[in-house]
A and B are shown apart, each in its own frame.
Chain A
Amino acid sequence: MQDREDTAPAHAFVLGANHLTASVALRDKLLFREEELPEFCRALMQVPGMREVVVLSTCNRSEIYGISAQPSVSRPMIEKLWGSAKGVSEDEIRNHAYFHSQGDSVRHLFRVIGSLDSMVLGEMQIFGQIKEAYRVAVEQRCVDFYLNHLFQSGIRVGKRIRSETSIHEGAVSISYAAVELAKKVLGDLKGKTVGVVGAGEMGELAAQYLHKAGAARFVFFNRTLATAEKLAADFGGELCLLADLDKRLAQCDILVSATGAPDIIITKAQVQEAARHRGGRPIFLIDIAAPRDIDPEAGKVSNAFLFTIDDLKNVVNENVAMRKESSRHALAIIDEEAAKMDGWFQGLEIVPTIRTLRDKYNAMVEKEIEKWAAGQSDETRRQLESLGRSLLNKFLHHPTTRLKLLGESGDGKRASYFAGLLFALAEEEREDAKG
């Protein structure tokens, strides 16, 4: 753990590989399992110059966020450590990894947490993953002043993007699109009955999503019961022969059809009859089979809503386009917050100067108090100390705030130089050095 008063320069950096720079095979090799993270964090802290570290590792990215006195010097050592931990050569890491420092690393973190850098734009899982990585690093005492501020800001950015943009809205997978459409027709899916025709993978996947969305009852229709037995057992559903579809269709709020049948197996007349028995309640039909299982004319039946795999793809495309549109606003939020972070980092350059200034004048005040309090009562000494502290704070208030402002606006070095001249801080430092 480093002291925040440490005067050595601190630089933020990120070293990582993601779905854009590394193959799945390499990403899998570089991945850290949850139980491996604490040890690797501690090992990274042993790298010379490393002051703070957070390791993020998901199936699409593995990244090391750090604070180092000299990131470019730390980099090869980190690559070596990472390579040896995962059995990957340093060259392979170097060839497939990206490295950003200071402002760029901040922007990178904000893009990642805002899900602008994700494989699926707007997926919000990454937000929780970053929070978890940060938590692990805090537990291992690998996070202090700088990364604490950076990650807290990052979490704030993620929350802003989530609440102020629509980047995470709308389904971007076919299965979710089906659930979303079903909700658009039926509202809440809790307690709804789902009929699944066919015992294939597609039907099972759709049933899984609908189950997650709250659908309560499942009826599995198949030509042979034996094939669908496992599915029915998994979902606690009923088994029915396809021949019984006529009798049971009216009970289904949602019907998913995904068989390999060469011809239409659900006719308009069947849907019409079912709709008639449903007392005006809508029936939602999804035909994800190729060739189609449900007669396209069934979509014209009153209170029946039929969607095919192409319709679901269209929904996904519309949602992807909307997310891309929202990403522009998300980028504006990132720029705004990254500018604040830049200011904060720049402001830190002036911290040693401010500290030297306050130390110098504090020493002067203490010296004077010693002089005037000699031979006086304790009460008088306390009053003198209080007066001295109060005056010191008042005299240094404006110089301190002005120096901080100059630091945040990027003039830290010049401000430091002139403050040194005005307050003779260089002499102070020399005396300190002699002492």
Chain B
Amino acid sequence: MEPVLLALKFLVPLAYLATTAIYGRLFFAPEESRFARKATLGLAISLILHIALLLCLGYSLQRCPLGTIGEGLLFLAWILAVIHLLSEWLADTRRLGLFTLLPTTLCVVVGVFLLRPDFALPPQLQSSFLVFHIVASLASYACFSMASILAGLYLVLHAKLKHKNFDITFRKLPPLDKLDKLSANWSFLGSATMVVASVIGWVWVRKDGLAGMNFKELAIYLVLAVFLGAGISRRLFGWRGRRHAIAILIGFLLMLLTNMIGTHGFQN
């Protein structure tokens, strides 16, 4: 298994890098049809290799590969890639692959670099709740990331329209309205999965008698509040467009900061 795992650790980042490059060509080339099929094919191959890597990793570790930051980043990247593929299929956003796959590739490269095959889970984490909590959390992070990418692109297109800059980026980006709606949808989905992750975490803490709320949890609730607030103010006060995009980006920055300040406390 080790040689296969080693090969996959090398191949997966390479496949994502190549796929990102193709999506880059697709976005900036005037004749995008030449790259369209290649891009989707590249993403499909990358995803298959990625699944193989996660399975091999799970087999090698004899547990779900969600216990370390490296493993988490690899799983987050996988969800992001799947989300992009779904979005490409459902909302015709193939042109935006470059912007989704850049952070995905970054997560994969860093994730592979941080993998620790000899890491044993501490006793507090050896719970069946771990998988559900982490999967739901990472899914919410992926949805928020997608919402933020779209919000960022909304602001770019907004600025180009205001400044009458009709360059290739202007031509290739989807309409403002579409970016706004897609961003709001992913933000809503992220909020919902984060609520699920929080409920699972809360039950886990109660059941296993782990420590109560620390700064990390408070920060996460703040992130959730920003995203939920953006969604609610959109519905109630019509804070669409630029305001909504800025709120989403603030939420995303907070999410990044939250994950930089550390992890949960696991004291009994």
Contact = CB atoms under 8 A, between A and B. Distances in A.
Nearest to B244: A280
A305 B162 contact: yes
A165 B161 CA distance: 25
A164 B34 contact: yes
Contacts of A400: none
A185 B234 contact: no
A187 B241 CA distance: 13
A186 interface: yes
A280 B177 CA distance: 11
A278 B237 CA distance: 10
Interface in B12-31: 30-31
B164 A307 contact: yes
A71 B157 CA distance: 56
Contact of A187 (B31, B178, B242): B178
Interface in B244-267: 244
Contact of B177 (A163, A282, A299, A314): A282
Contacts of B242: 302-303
B243 interface: yes
> Across chains A and B, which 6 residue pairs bring their CB atoms closest together, nearest first?
A279-B238, A280-B240, A187-B177, A280-B238, A187-B175, A166-B30
A281 B175 contact: no
Contacts of A185: 161, 175-177
Contacts of B238: 278-281
B214 interface: no
Interface in A320-336: 322, 325-326, 329
Contact of B162 (A163, A299, A326): A299
Contacts of A340: none
Nearest to A181: B161
B116 interface: no
Contacts, number: 67
Nearest to B233: A280
Interface string A184-197: 11110000000000
Given A281-B240, A314-B164, A314-B166, A184 B30 contact: no
A282 B117 CA distance: 52
Contacts of B157: 184
A248 interface: no
Contacts of B234: 280
Contacts of A186: 175-177
A311 B164 CA distance: 7
A186 B33 CA distance: 25
Given A184-B176, A185-B177, A280 B241 contact: yes
A183 to B, nearest CB: 6
Given A165-B31, A305-B161, A326-B30, A280 B166 contact: no
Interface of A: 163-166, 170, 183-187, 278-282, 299-300, 302-303, 305, 307, 311, 314-315, 318, 322, 325-326, 329
A166 B162 contact: no
Contacts of B241: 280, 282, 302-303
A47 to B, nearest CB: 42
B230 to A, nearest CB: 12
A298 to B, nearest CB: 12
A164 B33 contact: yes
A5 B240 CA distance: 71
Contacts of A163: 33
B234 to A, nearest CB: 7
B175 A184 contact: yes
B184 to A, nearest CB: 11
A165 B31 CA distance: 5
B129 interface: no
B171 interface: yes
Contacts of A326: 30-31
Contacts of B178: 187
Given A184-B170, A302-B241, 6 more contacts: A163-B33, A165-B30, A166-B32, A184-B157, A185-B176, A280-B237
Contact of B243 (A164, A278, A280): A280
A328 to B, nearest CB: 10
9 contacts: A184-B161, A184-B176, A186-B176, A280-B237, A280-B243, A305-B161, A314-B166, A318-B166, A318-B171
B241 to A, nearest CB: 5
A300 B164 CA distance: 12
A164 B33 CA distance: 6
Nearest to A318: B166
Contacts of B237: 279-280
Contact of B31 (A170, A278, A300, A329): A329
A354 B145 CA distance: 68
